[in-house]
Structure 1
Amino acid sequence: MLKRMVKMTFQKDRIADFLAIFEDSKNLIRNFPGCQHLELLHLENQPEVMFTFSLWDSPEALEAYRHSDLFQNTWSKTKVLFAGKPEAWSMRVAAEV
């Protein structure tokens, strides 16, 4: 299982635009082959800083999504709303407690 975290900082006056994009696409992403989970988070007291957290069956499943029309369409609408460069991390569990 691959865990993916993407940090995005939005223009404050474009937050509602992003939330509408996310609302329109979240179920499509959740139902994309290999996606097990998707959620949207924001920093406390900084609503313009948001994170997507997703779980993928494998790196290949994530890459298939990243090369899909769904991603290309969603990302093209999203990236114009940014106030800063997005950051992304793909992680695996190193140890469980």
Structure 2
Amino acid sequence: MFIRIVKLTFKEEHVEEFVQYFEEIKHVVRSQPGCSFLELYQDKTQSNVFFTYSYWENEQDLDIYRYSDTFKEVWPYVKSMFAERAQAWSVDRLLTVN
């Protein structure tokens, strides 16, 4: 399993639209094969900056999603609201602190 972190910076006028859209489509992304977790975070100081955290079984599952009809519908719409290019990282969890 690995974690995918994506930073999304939106034009101010699209923040509410994005949040509403994410609420509508989150279950579709979560139901993709290999996706076991998805959350959305908002920056505390820049309200137009968001991060998605998703857990994937393997990189092949993420790639399958990225070439799916769902992604081809979701990504162009979300991208049209950007103020900056998205940034993404794939990371492995090393330690869990309880």
Q: Identify the residue that residue 4 of structure 2 maps to in structure 1.
A: 4
What is the SS of the residue equivalent to 2:27? helix
When the two structures are superposed, what TM-score results if normalisation uses the length of structure 2? 0.93
Q: Write out per-residue CA displacement over residues 63-85 of structure 1, whole angstroms, 9 at most, x where no aligned residue.
A: 11111011110101100100011
2:85 matched to which residue of 1?
Answer: 85
> What fraction of aligned residue pairs are identical, expressed as a percent?
38
4+ long deviations beyond 3 Å: 94-97
* Shift of residue 87, structure 1, vs aligned partner: 0.1
- SS of corresponding position for 2:83: coil
Q: SS in structure 2 opposite 1:37?
A: strand
What residue ranges of structure 1 are gaps of 5+ in the alignment? none
The structure with more strand, counted as a fraction of residues? 1
In structure 2, the residue matched to 1:60 is 60
Structure 2 residue aligned with 1:31:
31
Query: Is the CA contact (8 Å cut-off) linking 1:10 and 1:81 kept in structure 2?
Result: yes
**Paired positions, count:** 97
| Secondary structure, aligned partner of 1:75 | helix
> TM (normalized to structure 1)?
0.94
Alignment partners' CA distance in 2, 1:76 and 1:6: 15
